[in-house]
Structure formats: structure tokens, C-alpha cells
Chain A
Amino acid sequence: MAYQLPGWAALAPTLTFVAAALVLFLIDSIDPDSENRALLAGTATVGSLVAAGFAAWFLIAGTGEEPFTLYADSLVVDSMSLFFAFVFASVTAMVVVASYDYMRDHSYQGEYYALVMLAATGMTLMPAANSLAVVFISLELASLPSYALVAILKKNRGSVEAGLKYFLIGALSSSILAYGISLVYGVSGTLLLPEIASAVEIEGLTGVLGIGVLMILGGFAFKTASVPFHFWAPEAYEGAPAPISAFLSSASKAAGFAVAFRVFTVAFPVEAYVATIDWVLAVQILAVVTMTLGNFAAATQDTVKRMLAYSSVGHAGYALIALASLTGTGSDQFVLGGGMAHLLVYGFMNTGAFLFVALAEYWSVGRTFEDYNGLAKQAPFACAAMTLFMFNLAGLPVGAGFMSKYFLFAGAVGAGFWWLTAVGAINSALSLYYYSRVVKAMWIEEPTQEFAIESKPVGLYAAIAAAAVVTVLLLPGFGPVWAFAQDAAAALV
């Protein structure tokens, strides 16, 4: 009989992030003006890699097959929460490695990395939340450090403005979420997700409950940057330091989806609700509007970072398809797994794209498409990686982006929502226009300026290369990804 780890050990990815944050605070309090970037970034990198390692180990060892419920059932560790913990930890690792170069001249080094670790802690808790109270607290734990991180370039007007806007909309949506939770609690008398599902068969209160459900949906729409709470996203992604934009648009968005998947499948199962509170219809409308709006807005942008910000809104629309195609029947697992697999692949390709923007900002290349003209002559390797990210985001099969999107759409068709797929496919085809603009600028256009590229930053290059290699390798390795995503989805439906 092997030694049995205690139950709380299942939270190892989360605990690792907490520990890394505490170590960073410790270092910062011993040497508040630390210039030792390698130590700080190194600690954060080790923390995220260990967390990712734990998540991967637990996934492979099958820890989540029998869900662990902890702390009076308020947390649940299953294959789904571990799957997302792996996504967040990998994105965090790439972000902190890239930050080593990007944040080189900024003060508040210690705080920066500690805040990233704390936000990651909150994110890993979100998919594990089994009670609406934990949902709210973990969402705030992920959000509060994010506000500060967006505004961390204190001398940069755009950064501070973006932080403020993000914070205000965040505060508003948090209050909406909290109000929604209170309404649901008022009707059901419990905060635990499985108990809500069994408790709310009381007649006569569907109106109150319906408003509560829609408000909770609104709160998640903020976190996932979906319409109608997407306004913060373009500002925040553009104003924030580019690695933080990568962090928010990949990990934070995926966290929002993770918690939405769990809450809506466990607490408000479709089969019980379709007759009274048809939240699936609301999600369908949100999905269509979000992807269309995100894509059209992205097509009209002049700056690359803002284009990526809107394209990230568009991708939120695709991921919403996973939630919008739930029918309460056997097809749910496929489409939900498709959404999760897409979020995993998206975590790598989108992070890579934003980190390339970080690299361009590091070189002071400029922000617009024209500024990128002819960049491939100077930095062919990084530009090849960026080309890969762009084509993957557009859904061309040069990496796993095509597979995950295809399976997500196939799942929606299988569930009978072919019109959602049609809208998604048209949007996806349209997106090739603005993604290929970046490729065209980098490779085909003649340079309009002299690039002052003096150095090839190791950290940024390493992070971009890692993202590119994983994005490509996930294509031949899509089998295990899909298997894990299906396991994760099976834990919910």
C-alpha cells in the first residue's frame, strides 16, 4: 500500500502559487529595492512550472477521476479543475519568463511577480469552486491583482487609465455577480452548486431565480470579456504591459470560462431549466454577438495590440459556443470538451501572439501594422513564430488551432446547433483577413523605418519559442489533449 497523500494535497497547484507569492513577498521585504531580476523572475517561473508539473502529474495519474471535495464541499478537485490549472500554470510560466526582459527597467519588480502569482492562485481556484461563495472570492482574488498589474506602469498614462477603466467595470460586474448570487441563494437556500440544482424546484420564484442566473452570467461575461461586459478589454489589453495582456486574454479569460462551465452545468443543469429559465438561449445570443462584434472590430483596427484585443473578444464568442450548445443530452460532453480543448490551445497561441507584441514593444518597433513592415528581415525567427500564431488563431491547419476549433464546431453541429457553427465558421473565415495583415506587414511589405534592434532578449525569445513549439506539437499530439478535455467535460456532465 503506497503512502496516501492527504486530501488537501490535491490542491498542490494552487498551494504552489501561494507559496511562490509568499516567497516573493519575503524576498521583497528583505530587499525592497531588489534589482535582482533573475531571482524574482526565476522564483515565479519555478513556481509556475512546479504548479504546471503538479497539474500534469495529477492529470496523468488520474487523481481527478474520483473528485476530491474539500472544506465542507466548497472546493472540488476533479479532472476539469486540474485541466484548467495546467492551462493557467503554463500561461503564467510563459508570461513570467517573458516579463524578465519586458519589465527590466521598471520599479516594483517584486510586487509585479507576486501579484502575478496571486492572480494565478485565484485562477486555479476558480474551476475548483463548488460553492457560489468560493466562486465570488476566487474571482475577486484573480481580479484584484489584475487591476494593479494593468496599471503597474505608473508613469504611463495609458496603463493607469486602462487600470482604472478595468477596475471600474470590474467593480460594477462584481456587484452584479454578488447580487445575482444573493438572489439565487434567496431562492434555493444554499450556496453549494450541486445543492442549488436539487433545491430550486420550488414553484413560483422563477422570476427572481431567472434574474439571479442572468446576473451571474453577466458577472462571468466580464471575466471572459464577452459582450456586453467587454468594453474594458481593448483598453486594458492595450494599456497594460504586453505580458499582462497575454496573461489576461489567455489565462484570465479561460478562468472565466472554467468557472462558467462548472456553475452552469452543475448548479443550473440545462435539462431542468430549459422549460423555465432558458439561459442557453441567452448564451447563444451572447455567443453570436460576441464573435461577430469582436471580429468586425478587430478588422478595423490600426494597431496590432488592439486588433489582438478584439480578436480575443471574438475568441470568447467561439468558446461561448461550448456553453451555448448544451442540450442536457449525450452531446454535451463532446462540445464542452471541445470548448476546453480550444481554451487550452488558445492559451498557447494567444499568449504567443501577445508576447510577440511585447517583443516588438521591447524593441520600440511601434504599434501599428505599418510599423511592423519588413520586420521579418531583422527577426525572421520571431516573425515565423508570429506567423504561426496568426494562422493558428485564424484556424488554418498549421497547428492545433485548426483542430480545436474544428472539434468545437463539430460538437455544436452534433448538438444540432448548425447555425451557431455557420456563424462561427463565417467569422473564422473573416478573421483571416486581419490576421494575415500582420503576416503581410512582417514579410511582404518593405520596411518604412530603420529598426534599432540591438539585442535578442533571451526571456522573450524563450517564451515565444515555447509557445510556438507547443502550438505546433499539439497538432500531432491532439489525441491526448482531446482525451483529457473529454475527461474534464465528463466531470461536469
Chain B
Amino acid sequence: MWIEALIAVTLASAAVVFLAPNKVAGKLAFVLSLLPVGGSLWMYSTYEASGNALLEGSTLAFETNYQWVVAGPYSLNWHVGLDGISMPLIALTTVLTSLALLASWTPIQERQSQFYGLMLFLEASLLGVFSALDFFVWFVFWEMVLVPMYVLIGVWGGPRRKYAAIKMFVYTNIASLALFIGFVALVFGLGDSVTTFDMPTVAQALRAGELGSLGPIGPETLKVAAFVAMFVGFAVKVPVVPFHTWLPDAHVEAPTPVSIMLAGVLLKMGTYALLRFNFTMLPDVAQANAQLIAIFAVVSVLYGAMLALAQTDLKRIVAYSSVSSMGYVILGLVAYTVYGMGGATFQMVAHGLISGLMFMAVGVIYNTTHTRMVSDMSGLASKMPFTVAVFVAGAFGYMGLPLMAGFAAELFIFLGSFGAFEGSVLFTAAAMFGIVIVAGYLLLAMQRTLFGPFELETDYEVGPAAFHDVAPLVVLILLVILLGVDPNIFFGMIQDAVNPIAAATGGGA
């Protein structure tokens, strides 16, 4: 019942805020968003589950399973529940939404009630994505995310917002169609043995090798075709190079709080779904093509980092570095080891916090300087020391400084992927080189903008940022350090959930 309550409260809050007057909407939304934060923390503290939600022998936390629609032989269920993979993401979603709402107070100056209402609606949809265990329920939430996102970028975004919004909408919608067809084909391919779209049932049947033919298509071809369709569908969301081109546009045009949600949580939908669908349901296809997938991962890491190096807009730098960071997640997943997959899942949370932090910091700088161009400013440290300090700390977190969450995540990924499959040593080494580039562009950008003598190309008065702008930054950096010092806050439950996938496929370390 708790998951339903969490989603219902968030939806109700969205409706209340949507109808509230513009003046109070921001504060009201923030206060109401503390309810799901409290809820998810309470769920974390009472969390008791073991195993992977999709596999046999697992017990789920807060599980409910009701019949929804019976259609011919098939039945659809309202099935939600949490395991060690989804619990951290639920917590991440609620916390990051609250902080993003706080970061909206300064930049959002028109149609506030609609903005905050849509943000909460987005949160509710995301909570649904991470907790749903029936494909139809999951897909409904997955598509529901798009609607508020489209409007949020399209209305409150930058000058080219219409183009960016429609591009994101079209890209992800086509991707959804691909993954939908891929998954439904799998279910039909399972024949009479599976009469439900329940994800655990489908996953177990697939892993037991029950896949039959679908029309003239044999099981092996079907498996690969479905894997490709779903991989492409999720790769757009992650995004994996070469499906990433919508992301920089969307990020640059989106207002700061929407960028925070986009980088912090929405990208994780893609990697979460990859883990749940492709890597859990069709492990043999994934492992047979491990090198190919690893190439996608490493290209994302290096190409994303090099693109970031070439940017002159602070926000674009962070946007492209997200592409790079998500490449690590793919590399960790394809390793099929406990450390690799666990590290990848941990990276989803860590990157959610760190990229949220970076976008928020860039937003705060933009609010005061009204420019994001690296060449337009220098020496901000002397004017807004506190913001700059957090920015620097966040950047070091991004580079993987020990005792920060990013370090733990990337270390686990590299440990897990090193030697995990043929050629993995080479891939891991190449991916590690990505960190050097990350350090390069972040240090370069910081040196130019933050340090040295103060200069600014615009005529705005630059001073310390408001308390409600800095507070969420501080909260985030503290969370990043907390997770870095004690990864076990989440890593224990993550490990428990990825263990069955890794063990069942004979992974090491």
C-alpha cells in the first residue's frame, strides 16, 4: 500500500499546486514535496527485501499485486514492489525533486502554479516507473513522464525551447514504440506458457529458455531482434552515442530545475530499464554480444567526454559529461559481475546527485551573471565564494575524488568489469582514460570562470546567491560525501539485488 500512497500523495499534491495561485505555488510545492521525501525515507528505514525483484526466490518490499484487466488468455496486473535496485532510485527521485523545486524559486517567474504542478506530476510518474513490475503499468508511467517533460521544456525553456521540446518528444516516442514492440513480441513468443505481462513471470520464463517461435521467426532470431529493439528504445533515453543528439538540445534549453530532473532522474530510467529488461531477461544475448555493447559504452564515455571538452557553454559541458558518465553504467552492466552491476546501479544514484548538483550550480551562476559562456566570465570566486566552493567540490566529485559517491561507483564498475569478459581489460582501460578527460575539461572550465581576476561581459550586479539557491547545493554535496564515505547505505541492498543476476551467469569478483 505504501507505494500507492506515495504516488497518490504526489499526484494529489500536483493537482493542489496546479490550482493554487502563482504567488504561493513554489513554497506550497516544496512543502508538499517533503511528504514523498519523508515517505521514501520511511520506506528506506523499514525496507526489508531480498533478491532481485524479477527472479525466483526474492521477497519484495511493499509489494502489491491486483488483477487489473483480463483480456482473452492474458491478464494485466497492478503489480508494484521494491527491491535493492529500485529502492535507492525511489529515494533519489523524491530527494532530488524537492531540491529541484527549491532551485526553481529564482529562475521560474511566470505561470508558477503550472510549472510546480507539472514538476510534481513528473515526480509521480517517475516513482511509478521505478516501482512498477507489470509491463503495462510500467509502460503507462514511462510514457506519462514524457508529457510534463515536453511542456516543461517547451514553456519555460530558453530561446530554442520549441525545437528542443519537440525533438526530445519525437526521439523518445519512437524509442518507446520500438521497445514496446520488442517486449510484446517476446511475450507472444513465449506462447501459451506465459499469459501475463508480469515482468517477473516473463523474466523467469525467458531465463528458463521457454521462448518459442513467433510466426516464421525462430526463437534465437526473435531473442536477438527483441534485444535490439529494446536496447535501442532504452539507449535513446540513457542516452548512448549515437542516440544522444536530443540530450544537449534539451539540456541547454531546459530551465535549471528541469535539467536537474532530466540528468538526475530521467536518464536513469534508461539504464534502469536496460538492467531490468535487457540484462535481466536476456542475459545470454547480452553476454554473447558483450564486446559490441562495451564498444557502445566506451564510445559514449570517450566521445561524450571529448564533446564536453569542446564546449564553451557551461551547461553544455555538464550535459555532454552526462553522456560520458552513463557510458560507465553500461560498461558496468555488461560486465555481469556483482561489482560491475552493483557499481552501475550505484552510479545511477551517485551520478543523479552529482549531475543534479552541477546543473544546479551552473543555474545559480547563470541566475546572477545571466551568461553561461565560459569566455564571458572569470574570477567568480571572489564574488560568490560559497557557490563556487560547492561547485568545485561537485566537480571533484564528478572526477571521482575518493570519499565522494562518484569514486565509489566508478571504482566498483572498473573492479567489476576488469577481466569480466574477453577483451574487457582493454575496454576498462579505455573507459578509465575517460576520467582523465573529465578532469581536463572540468579543471579548465573552473580555472577560466571561477578563478583569476573578476571580469564579466554582462552588466548585472554579481553577489552571493540567495539562501534558497545555495541550500539545496549544500544538501546535495553533503549527500554525495555521505554516500562516498559510506556506500553501504545503498550498496548492501543493491548488491543483494544484482547478486542473483551476476551469480546465475557465472560472473566473478
Contacts and interface: CB of A to CB of B under 8 A. Distances in A.
Contacts, number: 65
B166 A440 contact: yes
Most buried by A among B68, B146, B162: B68
Contacts of A403: 69
A377 B111 contact: yes
B154 A440 contact: yes
Contacts of B188: 413
A391 B113 CA distance: 22
Contacts of A334: 71-72
A443 B177 contact: no
A479 interface: yes
B151 A444 contact: yes
B169 A397 contact: no
Contact of A443 (B154, B169, B173): B154
Contacts of B19: 381
B67 A402 contact: no
B212 to A, nearest CB: 16
A320 to B, nearest CB: 21
A432 B140 contact: no
Nearest to B152: A443
B155 A444 contact: yes
A62 B173 CA distance: 41
Contacts of A381: 19
Contacts of B174: 429
B70 interface: yes
Nearest to B78: A476
B154 A482 contact: no
Interface string B155-181: 100000110011001000110010000
A407 B71 contact: yes
B147 A398 contact: yes
A396 B145 CA distance: 11
A483 interface: yes
A380 B72 CA distance: 40
Contacts of B67: 479
A387 B139 CA distance: 19
B18 A397 contact: no
B280 interface: no
B221 to A, nearest CB: 17
A391 B177 contact: no
A400 to B, nearest CB: 10
Nearest to A481: B69
Interface string A377-417: 10011001001000100001110001100010010011000
A479 B147 contact: no
Interface residues of B, number: 32
Contacts of A397: 139-140, 143-144
Contacts of A451: none
Contacts of B94: none
B428 interface: no
B169 A478 contact: no
Nearest to A433: B170
Contact of B151 (A407, A429, A443): A443
Nearest to A403: B69
B114 interface: yes
A475 interface: yes
A432 B72 contact: no
Contacts of B215: 418
A436 interface: yes
Contact of B147 (A387, A407, A475): A387
B70 A396 contact: no
A377 B177 CA distance: 32
B165 to A, nearest CB: 7
A376 interface: yes
A377 B22 CA distance: 12
Interface string A137-148: 000000000000
Contact of A398 (B18, B144, B155, B161): B144
B165 A444 contact: yes
A376 B188 CA distance: 42
A479 B18 CA distance: 30
Given A377-B111, A391-B147, A443-B155, A414 B72 contact: yes
A266 B177 CA distance: 37
Nearest to B161: A444
Interface string B109-147: 001011000000000000000000000000110011011
Interface centre among B71, B78, B161, B169 (most CB of A within 10 A): B71
A384 B18 CA distance: 10
Contacts of A376: 114
B147 A380 contact: no
B140 A402 contact: yes
Given A410-B71, A479-B70, A396 B114 contact: no
A152 to B, nearest CB: 36
A398 B150 CA distance: 14
Given A440-B162, A444-B165, A476 B154 contact: no
A309 B155 CA distance: 28
A432 B68 CA distance: 27
B119 to A, nearest CB: 15
A165 to B, nearest CB: 36
Interface of A: 334, 376-377, 380-381, 384, 387, 391, 396-398, 402-403, 407, 410, 413-414, 418, 425, 429, 432, 436, 439-440, 443-445, 475-476, 478-479, 482-483
Given A376-B114, A444-B155, 6 more contacts: A380-B113, A396-B146, A397-B144, A407-B71, A444-B161, A445-B162
Q: 8 closest pairs, A vs B, by CB?
A: A444-B154, A397-B140, A479-B69, A397-B143, A334-B72, A478-B69, A443-B151, A482-B69
6 contacts: A396-B143, A396-B147, A398-B147, A403-B69, A436-B169, A483-B70
